Amino acid sequence: MSMYRIDFNDFFTSAFSVDCILFGYSEGEIKALLIKRAMQPFENLWAIPGDLIYPDEDLEQAAERVLFELTGLNNIAMHQSQTFGKPNRHPQGRVITISYFALLRIEDFEVKASSWAGDVQWVSLKNMPDLAFDHNHILSSTYEMLKLKLQNEPICFDVLPERFTLNEFQQLYEFAFEQAFDKANFRKKIKYIPLIAHDEKQQNVKHRPAKLFSFDKTTYEEATTQNRYTFKM
Amino acid sequence: MSMYRIDFNDFFTSAFSVDCILFGYSEGEIKALLIKRAMQPFENLWAIPGDLIYPDEDLEQAAERVLFELTGLNNIAMHQSQTFGKPNRHPQGRVITISYFALLRIEDFEVKASSWAGDVQWVSLKNMPDLAFDHNHILSSTYEMLKLKLQNEPICFDVLPERFTLNEFQQLYEFAFEQAFDKANFRKKIKYIPLIAHDEKQQNVKHRPAKLFSFDKTTYEEATTQNRYTFKM
DNA sequence: TAAATTATTGTCCAAATTACAATAATTAGA
DNA sequence: TCTAATTATTGTAATTTGGACAATAATTTA
């Protein structure tokens, strides 16, 4: 299987790839999952995991597959960000790339390098080295998109576990926006988000366990299509 | 020149197109500029203006060119929205399309059909017929993107004339969101947007002319990179 | 100079947001 | 069983923002 190695013969055709930006949070920092390229071009440079899309493959499906192949991460729901297509962004020909992203808690997953990737590592956004291709640019605009979507769409629930505590919910936003929120005010803010409260409680905690909630997608979609509610954080 | 007619031989290559959604406002309605397709597939159906991207062409540049070729509209700054790539969205092969949009006042421009387009027309969003390809879907998600960006990024200034009155500014938002805003409150809301006030005044008006402003991009970018300000409407 | 029209500013009230404090619930350990 | 520790949860008052509406200022035409 080729990776970024293709013939560019047809006048109107190009290659297209997906780049998968995985944002993770741990130790109070936002990090991105990078791979060390094991082949030319940009051999040994760090890069965003990405590869070409199969001809019969849906874009989102491609993003999930590529992420799995390069990092071993499975079943991560990816969100489309932007498409990058400067004619010379790839040294070997025209490759237009569609960036996808997801957000997760690093300690919940274990990544392993594939044969394509010499190494896989979480790198802090504050400490980003020079990356292959235009990946520094892709990374920073995708981070902006992540924040924009977290504020305007309920993508946080793709990231949180099926049942979550309100504190986990709050921490997600604190990590993504790198600021603390007042607990009481946070709960007032989310008052109108349709959540289902469960009777069970958080397990394995040393002190008072928190109540568990899940996102009420049905009610949410009813309310938005009827224009009674718009998600806003 | 081929339009949506290509060979799909290479395993990993596909065709890339741009679709240009032009939103216009007039008579209190949002309309989109559509063309009537003059060739197969979907001959005689209405569609969003779009065509394939040249191999040496930047994406945004392609969007501006395609819009010009199909409608005669020149020098419209286009904004990227989303990329659509379901494997079977084009009946003749794999075409991934990147949607671009812009917003303008219909009476400021005159469109003319090209040879590719049998007809060109502004169609109200509320009265949208069945379009070619997945263009109904593309159109409605791009409208959502337009609104999202108008609220979170200063793209309004790409749409407004270089020097504009605060009323023109307000009308833009009233059209896009299809609701009236209080004049006094609108001015309070925009208080922190960096604008340059000019001494000249609006021309050709029957009564007191309004002051002209322009967007202070330099100050805006300084303030945002230093995290002192974020655009919000 | 007056009338007409529109820009611009100001004020009040309601609602939302913020900061901060108090209380309730639960667990661990003595 | 009781107490200390910890965290969830609720409450309140102060501050800021947003919306409705009114008043004033500026300019053009006649």
Q: Which two tokens stand for residue B2?
A: 């081929």
Residue A116: name the closest of A22, A21, A51, A24 by CA: A51
| A166: CB within 7 A of chain D nucleic strand | yes
Helices and strands counted in chain B (H then E) = 6, 9
Q: Which nucleotides of D are covered by protein (CB under 7 A)?
A: 5-12, 18-22, 25-29
Phi, psi of B83 (to 5 degrees): -115, 135
Residue A126's φ and ψ, nearest 5 degrees, are -75, -10
Question: How far, in Å, is the CA of A70 from the C1' of nucleotide C1?
Answer: 82
Q: Kindly report, residue by residue over B58-91, the tens digit of the pLDDT.
A: 999 999 999 898 888 888 889 999 999 999 898 8
Strands A95-105 and A13-26: parallel
Q: CA A75, A81, A83, A88 torsion: positive or negative?
A: negative
Given a cut of 80, whether residue B35 has pLDDT beyond it is: yes
pLDDT at A113: 62
Contacts of B9 in chain A (CB under 8 A): 10
Nucleotide nearest to A166 (CA to C1'): D8
**Residue B30 in this model has a pLDDT that exceeds 90:** no
Closest chain B residue to A3, measured at CA: B12
Most confident of A120-129, A152-161, B37-46, B104-113: A120-129
Nucleic strand D contact set for B 182-221 (CB, < 7 Å): 182-185, 188-189, 201, 205-209
Calculate mean pLDDT across residues B206-213: 83
What integer pLDDT is reported at residue A115 of this predicted model? 56
Contacts of A80 in chain B (CB under 8 A): 82-83
Question: A102-126, pLDDT tens digit by residue?
Answer: 988 787 777 776 656 668 899 999 8
Looking at per-residue pLDDT, the higher value among B127 and B5 belongs to B127
Between CA A197 and CA A215 the distance in angstroms is: 9
Cβ pair A78, A97 in contact under 8 A: no
B221 at A interface, C-beta within 8 A:
no
ipTM (interface pTM)? 0.85
The answer to whether residue B109 scores a pLDDT higher than 90 is: no
- How far, in Å, CA of B227 to CA of A144, rounded? 13
Task: Identify the residue with better confidence: B152 or B110.
Answer: B152
- Residues 6 or more apart whose CB falls under 8 angstroms from that of A105 comprise A24, A25, A26
- pLDDT number for residue B180: 87
* pLDDT tens track, chain A, 233 positions: 223 333 334 445 578 899 999 998 776 678 999 999 888 788 899 999 998 898 889 999 999 999 898 888 888 889 999 999 999 898 877 889 999 999 887 877 777 766 566 688 999 998 899 999 999 999 999 999 999 999 999 999 988 888 888 988 998 898 888 888 999 999 989 988 999 988 877 777 777 888 889 999 999 999 888 888 889 98
Give pLDDT, residue A185.
92
Chain B partners within 8 Å of A16 (Cβ)? 14, 16, 85, 96
For B83, the closest of A11, A59, A86 (CB atoms) is: A59
Instruction: Report H helices in B153-211.
Output: 156-159, 166-177, 183-189
